[in-house]
Structure 1
Amino acid sequence: MTKEFKTLDDFLGTHFIYTYDNGWEYEWYAKNDHTVDYRIHGGMVAGRWVTDQAANIVMLVPGIYKVAWTEPTGTDVALDFVPNEKKLNGTIFFPKWVEEYPEITVTYQNEHIDLMEESREKYDTYPKLVVPEFANITYMGDAGQDNEDVISEAPYAGMPDDIRAGKYFDSNYKRIKK
């Protein structure tokens, strides 16, 4: 995808894959002006995926966007996207319990909200593990807003490579059936 990001509308509907400097790989979709979907392909919670996460999404200045949310796990996330430079800065604030028991979160969160809330109450939340990292954006796709095909299944080994190689979505940004 080659486009210059200037407005919030340019950002909304964009599908990203990025790799943090620590090696963690994430896939993230600006579903609309208040919702994000994502899959985690590398790092301590690799295998986790979430749809319809409420988020605050704003344009700071033309071409620079801030997105922030709190998950049912108690994890807070703040991302600063600079897509024209293929850069991102993210800070993830993991509760103590997620650091100690990350495997609990490695699932499709939407089907396990009760477990996330129960774990948040059962285990320690503080001190938080703060992970501030820069990332390189390795893929940007124009999926359009509210496209349910973007993040619609669990991550699998090689998925980001399939997406980057054009083997995952068709020309209408619909999932190619396997």
Structure 2
Amino acid sequence: MANLNNMNKKFHTLDDFVGTHFIYTYDNGWEYEWYCKNDHTVDYRIHGGMVAGRWVKDQEAHINLLTDGVYKIAWTEPTGTDVALDFVPNEHKLNGTIFFPKWVQDHPEITVCYQNEHIDLMHKSREKYETYPKMVVPEFAKITYIGNAGINNEQAIAEAPYEGMTDDIRNGNYFDENYHIIKKDGHSYIEK
């Protein structure tokens, strides 16, 4: 088991940020896991909140350095949800604003899946149900995990979220020293 939580990492440039894996909890209690896969793509899992259980790989995003150690990331999902995140990792905080279309607010269960296998359903739902008014969720969050997953690490976010996953990651029971998922008997192995 490897404790890869590097909460003391110092961020200055865009290169410091790209390849980093974060876990954070919004002030409203929603817990997210987010990975800056490369300079234009993010992966994420949602562990708490109205769309808990949702996970996504290879989401195209605008990833920018605003000033020393401060980053802005923004994207639009196939659901029509818009996301804007401002990371201040040296202070272990971020501010996120999520703009949920009305249909996601009314039918969040449709989005709780591995989105990459259901893009057509996301597009159909976006057309079938109402988009407005959007539900705007602006929240501050506390970063509770910073891991150096490296660029284009397909294992950083590679399976559906489960209860206790973020604790397993923070406690060093999920990834080995090479930032690969620990396996046993063909399944992720988490020591309890």
Q: TM-score range by the shorter chain?
A: over 0.9
Aligned partner of 2:58 in structure 1 is 52
- Runs of 4 or more consecutive aligned structure 1 residues displaced over 6 Å after TM superposition: none
Residue 180 of structure 2: aligned partner: 174
Q: Which amino acid aligns with 1:115?
A: L
Q: How many angstroms apart in 2 are the aligned matches of 1:3 and 1:40?
A: 24
Q: 2:115 aligns with which of 103, 109, 120?
A: 109
Deviations 1:30-81 (A, max 9, x none): 0000000000000000000000000000000010000000000000000000
TM-score when scaled to structure 2? 0.92
Q: Distance in 2 between matches of 1:72 and 1:62?
A: 32
Q: Is it true that 1:72 corresponds to 2:78 in the alignment?
A: yes
Q: CA–CA distance in 2 between the matches of 1:3 and 1:136?
A: 15
Listed as ranges, the gaps of 5+ residues in structure 2 are 1-5, 184-188
Secondary structure, aligned partner of 1:43: coil
* Aligned residue among 108, 114, 131 for 2:137: 131
Of residues 98, 104, 108, the one that matches 1:98 is: 104
SS for the counterpart of 2:64 is strand
Compute the displacement of 1:14 (Å): 0.3
Q: TM-score, normalised by structure 1?
A: 0.99
1:32 and 2:38 correspond: yes
Cα distance in 2 for residues equivalent to 1:12 and 1:62: 14
Point out where structure 1 has 5 or more consecutive residues left out of the alignment. none
User: Cα offset for 1:110?
Assistant: 0.2
Cα distance between partner residues in 1 of 2:88 and 2:124: 36
Aligned length: 178
Aligned: 1:165 with 2:171: yes
Q: CA deviation at 1:3?
A: 1.7
Taking only the aligned residue pairs, the percentage that are identical comes to 78
Q: Show the counterpart of 1:142.
A: 148
Hey, what's the Cα distance between the residues in 1 that align with 2:182 and 2:92?
26
Instruction: Report the 3-state secondary structure (helix = DSSP H, G, I; strand = E; otherwise coil) of the residue aligned with 1:155.
Output: coil
Taking the aligned partners of 2:73 and 2:29, their CA distance within structure 1 comes to 21
Once the two structures are TM-superposed, the CA of residue 92 in structure 1 deviates from its matched residue by 0.0
Instruction: Name the structure 1 match of 2:3.
Output: none
- Cα distance in 2, alignment partners of residues 136 and 32 from structure 1: 23
- Residue 6 of structure 1: CA displacement? 0.4
CA distances 1:133-160 after superposition (whole Å, capped 9, x unpaired):
0000000000001000000000000000
